C-alpha cells in the first residue's frame, strides 16, 4: 500500500523583475512587476507552483504583493501543512470557508495545489478541468508606452516577428479626443494587418465613453474594454445596449457572482476571464460557463503574471471551446528576466501549451533564489 502523501511546506516568494519599458495604465505606471509565487512541497517529492500576481500595488485592487504573502504565510499555509495534497478541491473548500476575500492569494494556492496533483497523476493541468480542445492560444500584445510613434514601431516589430497581430492600447490618461487620436493613428498605420482594441481601465464617465466609442468605431477599433468604473454595472449595461462597438467587462468581474449579474442584465458583449480576479481556476471556469450560457463571448485575460500564472491561465483557457477574442497572455514577454529553464514558446501569433504533467514548465530555482526580494 502506497503511503498517503502530506503537504510538507507552503512557501511564498516575492520576485521583483524590471519590465522592458514603462507600462502605462490609467491607474499606474509600471517599471517592474512583483511576481508572487507559491511553492507547495509534498512528502512524495512533488513540488507544485502557483502565482497570485497583481498590478500596480494597491492602485489597481485591494490586494498588494505584500498583503498576499502575509495572508498566505499567516493564515492559509498553516491550514494546509500536514494535509493530503491529492484533494485540492476539498482543501480549497476549507480555505474558502475560513478565509474571506483574498482572491489573488487563493488563486496562487489553488494553482499550486492543482499543479502538484496533476504532476502526481502524470497529466497536464488542463485535464483536471475537462480536457483541452487546443494546444495553442492566440496572443494579443498591449501597447502602453503612451507614445504614438513608439507604439507603432513596437506593433510593426511584433508583426514582423509573427509574435502578435492583435493589439490592445492602454488609454485614459489624456482627454477622450486626444486618446482617440492616438488610437486612430496607430490603427491607420497597421491597417488590416492587425486587430486593434482599447482598454481605458475605468477612466471614463458614461458620457465620455459614449463619445469615445463612437469615434473609436469610426476609426476601425474592434472592441472597448471596461471604459467605466467597475461598480457601475448599470452604466456598463447602457454602453453595451447602445450597440456602438463591442464592450468587454474586466474589472467588473470578480468571480461567478459578478459574472451572473453582468450576464443577466446583458451588460457586456465579452467577458475577460482572469484566474486571479476570479479567485482561482475553478472560479474562472465558472465565469466562462456563465458567459457561454448567456451567449457572451470569451477573452483570456492577464494580470501581467509571469510564467507560472501565464501557463496556469493557458492550461485552463485551452479547455474553453469558445475563445472568439483570443487571449493576452504576454506577461513573461514584458519582463527582463527569465525564471524558467526553458522559456514559454511564442510563435506564429500564438502561445504553445506543453503537454507535460502539471503546468508543463520547469522553474529555475537558482535564478529565483537570486531574484527573490528576501535574498
Alpha carbon distance 237, 258 (integer Å): 13
CB hemisphere CA count around 124 (13 angstroms) = 23
Q: Provide the b/e sequence for 167-192 (b: ≥16 CB within 10 Å).
A: bbbbbbbeebeebbebbbebbebbee
Q: Which of 146, 136, 138 is nearest to 24 (CA)?
A: 146
Residue 203 CA to chain centroid, in angstroms? 20
Question: Which residues are marked as active site?
Answer: 170
3-state secondary structure of 342: coil
Cα gap 216→180, rounded to integer Å: 6
Sheet harboring 270-273: ordered strands across? 141-143, 166-170, 195-199, 223-225, 247-249, 270-273, 297-300
Q: How many CB atoms lie within 10 A of CB 345?
A: 11
Name the β-bridge partners of 368: none
Distance CA 317, CA 43 (A): 30
Q: Are 63 and 50 in contact (CB under 8 A)?
A: no
Instruction: Supply 249's cell numbers.
Output: 467587462
Strands (E) in 181-254, as ranges, are 195-199, 223-225, 247-249
Amino acid at each position: 500500500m502506497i503511503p498517503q502523501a502530506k503537504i510538507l511546506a507552503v512557501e511564498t516568494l516575492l520576485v521583483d523583475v524590471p519590465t522592458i519599458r514603462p507600462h502605462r495604465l490609467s491607474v499606474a505606471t509600471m517599471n517592474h512587476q512583483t511576481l508572487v509565487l507559491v511553492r507547495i512541497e509534498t512528502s512524495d517529492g512533488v513540488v507544485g507552483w502557483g502565482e497570485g500576481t497583481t498590478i500596480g500595488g494597491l492602485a489597481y485592487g485591494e490586494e498588494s504583493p505584500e498583503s498576499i504573502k502575509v495572508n498566505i504565510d499567516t493564515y492559509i499555509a498553516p491550514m494546509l501543512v500536514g494535509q493530503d495534497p491529492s484533494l485540492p478541491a476539498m482543501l480549497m473548500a476549507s480555505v474558502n470557508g475560513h478565509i474571506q476575500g483574498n482572491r489573488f492569494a487563493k488563486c496562487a494556492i489553488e494553482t499550486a495545489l492543482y499543479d502538484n496533483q496533476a504532476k502526481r497523476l502524470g497529466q497536464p493541468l488542463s485535464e483536471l478541468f475537462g480536457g483541452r480542445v487546443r494546444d495553442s492560444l492566440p496572443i494579443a500584445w498591449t501597447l502602453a508606452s503612451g507614445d504614438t510613434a513608439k507604439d507603432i514601431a513596437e506593433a510593426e516589430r511584433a508583426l514582423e516577428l509573427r509574435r502578435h497581430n492583435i493589439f490592445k492600447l492602454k488609454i485614459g490618461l489624456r482627454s477622450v479626443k486626444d486618446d482617440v487620436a492616438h488610437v486612430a493613428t496607430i490603427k491607420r498605420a497597421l491597417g488590416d494587418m492587425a486587430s486593434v482594441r482599447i482598454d481605458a481601465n475605468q477612466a471614463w464617465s458614461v458620457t465620455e465613453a459614449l463619445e469615445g466609442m463612437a469615434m473609436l468605431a469610426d476609426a476601425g477599433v474592434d472592441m472597448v474594454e471596461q471604459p467605466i468604473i467597475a461598480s457601475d454595472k448599470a452604466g456598463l449595461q447602457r454602453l453595451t445596449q447602445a450597440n456602438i462597438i463591442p464592450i468587454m467587462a474586466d474589472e467588473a468581474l470578480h468571480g461567478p457572482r459578478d459574472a451572473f449579474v453582468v450576464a443577466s442584465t446583458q451588460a457586456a458583449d465579452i467577458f475577460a476571464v482572469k484566474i486571479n480576479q476570479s479567485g482561482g481556476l475553478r472560479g474562472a471556469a465558472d465565469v466562462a460557463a456563465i458567459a457561454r450560457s448567456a451567449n457572451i463571448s470569451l477573452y483570456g485575460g492577464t494580470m501581467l503574471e509571469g510564467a507560472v500564472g501565464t501557463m496556469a491561465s493557458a492550461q485552463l483557457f485551452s479547455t474553453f471551446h469558445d475563445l472568439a477574442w483570443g487571449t493576452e497572455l504576454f506577461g513573461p514577454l514584458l519582463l527582463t528576466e527569465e525564471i524558467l529553464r526553458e522559456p514559454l514558446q511564442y510563435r506564429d501569433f500564438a502561445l504553445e501549451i506543453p503537454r507535460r504533467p502539471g503546468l508543463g514548465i520547469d522553474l529555475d530555482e537558482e535564478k529565483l533564489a537570486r531574484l527573490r526580494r528576501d535574498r
